[in-house]
Amino acid sequence: MSEADFFLRMQHDKNDPNPFLAIFLDQSIPFDEEAKAVYLKDCSSKTRQFLLPLLRPFARLLIILLQLYKSIVPNAFTSSKVLHRVLYWGMKTFVSPSANYMILRHFYLGSEVLQFIRDNVAGVNITMNPLKPTDLKPVKDDLFLIHDLNLYNFIINLNRELREKNLEVTKQTTLNFDAITTTRIPIEPMPNRWTNFLDLTTAIECFTPVYQMFLTDNDFWRATNSLQLDETVGILASKIIGSNERLALINNKHPMVPLTTLKAGFRLVLHGLATEQLHALLIELKGKAMVDANSINK
């Protein structure tokens, strides 16, 4: 049985409707059906309901304490290699299979979205560094840090070329969807021992102070500010598509108003959902384009 079948076969009690069933069945938000089911099942877990409210205040308090500590010794005990090995161990040991699946999927989709934008801006020549992990091992190779750097470098390089070549990002009559995968993302089965119990949101809240601990203050500040580029990526995509009708749920606003690092974990969840929604919209548009092309050929 697929993850989607879990909701599709769920009985509806009019006197006690399941909130996650309502969200799953709603089609107003573009979202891959399987990934949506995985995420909503993860949201309905006991750890998110009972453990998250207990751990979140402590995680945020630790962020404040580490911020004070880093202001005094900003480069003490910093190591990206150690950080990513700790993250790898934590994901392999404590994070649920569904949460790990959504995390790896995010890197994959994010790379495809940036490639789509590049492919549909005529005249630019940007070297890409796609991240498409299918298991947890690439986490050890600075995966999270490289993801942030890729996003910044893409925005900087794209806009430099637009300025130097006097180009604009405009609506494309014929969209290039070569970068967008419409088949299942080939992510391997994740560790599923009794210790793998943490849901996505709780895991992110717990790992955020760890991320801060092993990075310099500058690196952590840069990483949290990268979340506000969701709006930038969404605007670029909407210009290319020629519509922003279904990109309204981007919540990491405004790129020019940096936020504190305190709610970085929650904002990271929003970042992942924004990527999912944009990628799902591109899949939808690609399907329509293929249908239109086939009808013309007939």
pLDDT in tens, 189-225: 999 999 999 999 999 999 999 999 999 888 898 998 8
Q: Residue 95: its pLDDT value, please?
A: 97
Q: Residue 196: its pLDDT value, please?
A: 97
Count Cα atoms within 13 angstroms, Cβ side, for 289: 16
Could you count the other beta carbons within 10 Å of the beta carbon of residue 81? 12
Residue type, 9: R
Count Cα atoms within 13 angstroms, Cβ side, for 180: 25
Token digits of residue 35: 């990934």
Q: Mark the ranges of the chain whose per-residue pLDDT is less than 50.
A: none
For residues 239, 240, 242, 247, the Cα torsion angle rounded to the nearest 10 degrees is -70
Q: Residue 10: its pLDDT value, please?
A: 92
Q: Residue 190: its pLDDT value, please?
A: 96
Could you count the other beta carbons within 10 Å of the beta carbon of residue 228? 19
Q: Residue 247: its pLDDT value, please?
A: 66
Residues 6+ apart with CB under 8 A from 85: 140
Q: Residue 124: its pLDDT value, please?
A: 92
* Domain ranges, ordered by start, for the chain: 3-297
Q: What predicted TM-score, i.e. pTM, was given to this entire model?
A: 0.93
